[in-house]
Structure 1
Amino acid sequence: MKLSIRYKFVIGFLVIFCISFISISFFINKIIVKNNEKIISKEFLRFQKDLTIYLNQYLKLKQIALDENEFEKNAQDIAAVLAVKIDDRVVVYSGKGGFLSDSACENGKIPIYEEVNNINEHKKYNKDLKLAVNNKSAYTIVPIDNKYMVIFSCPIFIDDVKLGIVRCNRDYTELFNSSENLLRVINISISLVFGLIFIFSILLATKITVPIIKLSRISKEVAKGNFDADIIVNSRDETGELTSNFNKMKNQIKKQIETIKRDRDNLKTIQKHRKAFFDNVTHEMKTPLTIISGYSQIILQKDFKDKEFFKKAVVKIKNESDRMHNMVLELLEISKVESKVSSDQMKKINVSEVIYLTCEDMRIRADKYDILIDKHIDKDVFVLGNENELRRMMINLIDNSIKYGDIKSSIKVKMFKDKNYCNMIVEDKGHGISTDKLDKIFKPFYRVDKVSSREKGSNGLGLSIVKSIVEKHRGEINIVSKENIGTKVYIKIPLIVYKMATSV
């Protein structure tokens, strides 16, 4: 049978308390007994000294010789006198233990411990008498009918002459009853204390084990995949800290699993996008290759003599070749932008200078269509990034505004700091983008309107490159546009970026 840790605690505490209670009671009882013996010994030592003094005075007063025979002859008188002196019963024996006289014999009350003529009788209570025969004082504790009688025997020596043995008894019931009452009170007190400690221990064991039991139950749920159950323990000790750490660990595992699932779904999405990207690349390259191949086959015919068609074919082949060349360059740029960048490629950049110089460079293209680049750029704004990529981003944005903006219009380029971000805005006036197409413009090879672009060779990769650059710099991009009015591009990049690694 499996015992829970709670019951193990209770059983362990119970065993310890029982052993402790028995041990303490035993030692206290020993101490009380020794204390009683010490009290009795002290009183009888004093009694022996007084007894010798009384007897010596009596013998001198009665002019009885210090002789064992004379002591035996006067044993009855001696017993009576000593009994009056000590106010207790006195029995007188010879030096060899023979019974001589008893002060209580007159009333006919001879107690159970009395030895008559032979010290070997009543062996249960004559140990003290035997020791007195061997010249040693001793006493025996005799329990009789809820009473405690103490029998004391001592040899009588006067002037180094052993005259005999005097034996007397005293009632110490009160002393022993007091000791028993004291022991009973102590045992009850110990029992109460141990009982309270035991109850407190059970409560403490419960307080400790209940969270562990809950933790065990919840851990089984977690093992089954249920991460929604939490342990609530209102405790500030190690148990509360343990449950708090368990909840944190469980939530962290839950987040990791959710991240893995999300990454799995993202991977599937990326694979779909890659397939779509590959299909788009294949389709986009197939068209110019088909045109180039078709014109080349016609030109290579032996009887071909049409100079006008030859000139047209050469121009077409060149245009399609340029288009393929630009497409390959932009694909390489996308691959480069979306690849992981080492930390040494990211450095502190004055983005104000990058945007200003880009606007100056693009002014030549804008002048071709009589378009003004109106720039409002805050000075000395710094970000952590890649200068070439940020320049490429601005070139694509301004280039799109030139392609799709109205002739003799203006392109507004703004850059300013707001809290911890560098904000960039590129605004043009032109064809604009319909609302239903705004969510597709960042897809590779997607072109809003091929006809509206005043320049050929556009492959629909510009905004895709821009978005990749912004995301790599931990930024955000948003486009607002209205048809036949114009387009605004909002970009926000953190002024300080610590980690710049991106995933493909």
Structure 2
Amino acid sequence: MKLTIRYKFVVGFLVIFCIGFTTMSFFLNKIIIKNNEKIIKKELLSFQKDLTIYLRQYLKLKQIKLEENNFKKNAGEIGTVLAVKFDDRAIIYSRKGEFLYDSAYENGEILIYEDIKNWDKDKQLHNKDLKLAVNNKSGYTIVTVNNKYIAVFSCPIFIDNMQLGIVRCTKDYSELFNSSKELLRVINISISLVFGVIFLFSVLLCTKITIPIIRLSKVSKEVAKGNFDVSVNTNSKDELGELADNFNKMRMQIKEQIGTIKKDRDNLKKIEKHRKAFFDNVTHEMKTPLTIISGYSQILLQQNFHDKEFFKKAVTGMNNESNRMHNMVLDLLEMSKVESNLDLDEIQEISISEIVTSTCEDMKIRADKYDIFIEKSIEKNVFVLGKQYELRQMMINLIDNSIKYGDIKSVIKIKLFKEKDYCNIIVEDKGQGIPADKIDKIFEPFYRVDKVSSREKGSNGLGLSIVKSIVEKHKGEIKLSSKENKGTKIYIKIPLIVYKMAISV
């Protein structure tokens, strides 16, 4: 059987209440009894002192000699005088406990038979004070008669160090005991009321605490099943409300993490597919020059080969294909380097304005070869955080592509400017252009447009792929627009603070 927190709390509080109430009642009763005893003892000592003084004066006044026999002879007179003096019952005994006189009854018994149920037993209990007096000690006994509390005092009479006898008297303390009982009853009622209020408050508090916990338990079960669209709604501003808010935040973070994991899984599948295609392309691109080189070399190795013209053609072809492979390997290494993680030690604040300017100057020699003019409009003091080598490589590839596929005696326009928090770069050329149905694939590795031919040999389709990798590495964007036989325009946007964002991830 499952025991709820509320059940445990209520049962536990009831147990604590019962134990606490019983303990407090017990100790309060003890304290009241001790207080009553203290009051009675104090009055007994006062009574004994007054009694001794009064008897001394009375015996001297009556000229009764201080002897035990004289005390016995005058016991009736002495008992009557004491009963009148103290306005209470007085019983006189010899110093050995022999009954001499009773101002109320003839037999000297404290209780008559009708007053008690167990005569023999109670008679012994009610005579404890008398036995103490016989042993030269004062004492008292509390006797209960018809809901009344009677204190019976017994004290030995010593005058001038001579014991004459024993005086026993009674006094009604019903008011004292009844007041104590009433006080104890009021205290018990007060304690019960206080505990009752505390209990009701605790039950309400427990309910307020357990309800959000129950909701949280239900929601956590749903989350465990994979349902992340549930939430814990509480209006509490205390720790429970904070717990619910933290749970909702945790649920959202888990949901986001799972979404990220799924996204990464899909990306891994795409990357794996891309890697396979990349490997197939590399294999295919290398297979062609290797086949040509192998074919020419086998012919040249024939013993009876004497064709000088074919020999020259074969050597030229092998040289071109080896150069093509060499350039391909260099581009592949460059691409691998770009796609690897950033080396944080080389990240620095760089003036991209200076990089673009210097690159245009360096590429002017290649452009002059085909009478192509590089027109630049570069805003000064544009800074980014990054690697200088990569940004320079990006610009070289862009300008080189424009030179390869641009028209002779055309103009390549290069613009750089800031717009809000972005660095904008535009490279525009006039040339062959790209068919509209090929634009979406132009950034893929090894992709070449069949109808677009380069004026230089050795193109392997990796230039724009490397550019895109560098831009994406900077969390930027690259777009391309082109029209056949008119030219191509490339737009690049790079956040000015992108590397700060990348480092904090």
In 1, the alpha carbon distance for the partners of 2:412 and 2:321 equals 30
In 1, the alpha carbon distance for the partners of 2:69 and 2:121 equals 23
Structure 2 partner of 1:166: 167
Task: Say whether the 8 Å CA contact 1:151–1:170 is kept in structure 2.
Answer: yes
In 2, the alpha carbon distance for the partners of 1:310 and 1:120 equals 147
Task: Say whether the 8 Å CA contact 2:36–2:176 is kept in structure 1.
Answer: yes
One-letter code aligned to 1:349 = I
Q: 5+ residue gaps in structure 2?
A: none
Structure 2 partner of 1:415: 416
Task: Say whether the 8 Å CA contact 1:358–1:391 is kept in structure 2.
Answer: yes
In 1, the alpha carbon distance for the partners of 2:301 and 2:71 equals 168
Q: Please identify, of 244-253 and 141-150, the stretch whose mean Cα deviation from structure 2 is larger.
A: 244-253
Task: Say whether the 8 Å CA contact 1:358–1:395 is kept in structure 2.
Answer: yes
Q: Secondary structure at the match of 2:418?
A: strand
How far is the alpha carbon of 1:180 from its aligned partner?
0.5
In 1, the alpha carbon distance for the partners of 2:389 and 2:319 equals 29
Structure 1 partner of 2:24: 24
Compute the RMSD of aligned alpha carbons: 3.5
Structure 1 partner of 2:37: 37
> Over residues 23-74 of structure 1, what are the superposed CA-to-partner deviations in whole Å (9 max), with x where a residue is unaligned?
2111111111111111112222222222233333333343333333232233
How far is the alpha carbon of 1:273 from its aligned partner?
0.9
Q: Secondary structure at the match of 2:499?
A: coil
Q: Please identify, of 29-38 and 395-404, the stretch whose mean Cα deviation from structure 2 is larger.
A: 395-404
Distance 1:88 1:315, change over 3 A: same
Structure 1 partner of 2:157: 156
In 2, the alpha carbon distance for the partners of 1:121 and 1:330 equals 120
Task: Say whether the 8 Å CA contact 1:411–1:429 is kept in structure 2.
Answer: yes
Q: Secondary structure at the match of 1:105?
A: coil
In 2, the alpha carbon distance for the partners of 1:178 and 1:305 equals 142
In 1, the alpha carbon distance for the partners of 2:291 and 2:220 equals 64
In 1, the alpha carbon distance for the partners of 2:499 and 2:293 equals 47
Task: Say whether the 8 Å CA contact 1:473–1:497 is kept in structure 2.
Answer: yes
Q: Please identify, of 212-221 and 363-372, the stretch whose mean Cα deviation from structure 2 is larger.
A: 212-221
Structure 1 partner of 2:81: 81
- TM-score calculated relative to the size of structure 2: 0.85
In 1, the alpha carbon distance for the partners of 2:146 and 2:315 equals 142
Distance 1:129 1:297, change over 3 A: closer
Q: Please identify, of 207-216 and 157-166, the stretch whose mean Cα deviation from structure 2 is larger.
A: 207-216
In 1, the alpha carbon distance for the partners of 2:273 and 2:122 equals 117
Structure 2 partner of 1:472: 473
Q: Please identify, of 120-129 and 233-242, the stretch whose mean Cα deviation from structure 2 is larger.
A: 233-242
Q: Secondary structure at the match of 1:31?
A: helix
In 2, the alpha carbon distance for the partners of 1:105 and 1:298 equals 159
- Taking only the aligned residue pairs, the percentage that are identical comes to 70
In 1, the alpha carbon distance for the partners of 2:228 and 2:122 equals 88
In 2, the alpha carbon distance for the partners of 1:110 and 1:298 equals 150
Structure 2 partner of 1:492: 494
In 2, the alpha carbon distance for the partners of 1:348 and 1:444 equals 30
Structure 1 partner of 2:368: 367
> Over residues 417-440 of structure 1, what are the superposed CA-to-partner deviations in whole Å (9 max), with x where a residue is unaligned?
345443322223444445543332
How far is the alpha carbon of 1:18 from its aligned partner?
2.1
In 2, the alpha carbon distance for the partners of 1:380 and 1:467 equals 24
Distance 1:434 1:175, change over 3 A: farther
Task: Say whether the 8 Å CA contact 1:428–1:488 is kept in structure 2.
Answer: no
Structure 2 partner of 1:147: 148
Structure 1 partner of 2:13: 13
Q: Please identify, of 89-98 and 412-421, the stretch whose mean Cα deviation from structure 2 is larger.
A: 412-421
Query: What are the equivalent positions in structure 2 for 1:321-336 lying under 5 Å apart?
Result: 321-336=322-337
Distance 1:134 1:120, change over 3 A: farther
Distance 1:109 1:133, change over 3 A: closer
How far is the alpha carbon of 1:359 from its aligned partner?
0.4
One-letter code aligned to 1:365 = R
One-letter code aligned to 1:151 = V
- TM-score calculated relative to the size of structure 1: 0.85
In 2, the alpha carbon distance for the partners of 1:22 and 1:44 equals 33
Task: Say whether the 8 Å CA contact 1:475–1:494 is kept in structure 2.
Answer: no
Structure 1 partner of 2:55: 55
How far is the alpha carbon of 1:198 from its aligned partner?
3.1
Q: Please identify, of 9-18 and 357-366, the stretch whose mean Cα deviation from structure 2 is larger.
A: 9-18
How far is the alpha carbon of 1:286 from its aligned partner?
3.7
One-letter code aligned to 2:138 = S
In 2, the alpha carbon distance for the partners of 1:435 and 1:33 equals 109
In 2, the alpha carbon distance for the partners of 1:449 and 1:487 equals 19
How far is the alpha carbon of 1:404 from its aligned partner?
3.3
How far is the alpha carbon of 1:319 from its aligned partner?
4.3
Q: Secondary structure at the match of 1:497?
A: helix
Task: Say whether the 8 Å CA contact 1:405–1:430 is kept in structure 2.
Answer: yes
Task: Say whether the 8 Å CA contact 1:470–1:493 is kept in structure 2.
Answer: no
Q: 5+ residue gaps in structure 1?
A: none
Task: Say whether the 8 Å CA contact 1:474–1:494 is kept in structure 2.
Answer: no
In 1, the alpha carbon distance for the partners of 2:172 and 2:411 equals 128
Query: What are the equivalent positions in structure 2 for 1:54-453 lying under 5 Å apart?
Result: 54-105=54-105, 111-112=111-112, 122-209=123-210, 211-212=212-213, 214-232=215-233, 240-290=241-291, 307=309, 318-451=319-452, 453=454
One-letter code aligned to 2:399 = I
In 1, the alpha carbon distance for the partners of 2:298 and 2:167 equals 154
Task: Say whether the 8 Å CA contact 1:327–1:459 is kept in structure 2.
Answer: yes
One-letter code aligned to 2:39 = I
Q: Secondary structure at the match of 1:282?
A: helix
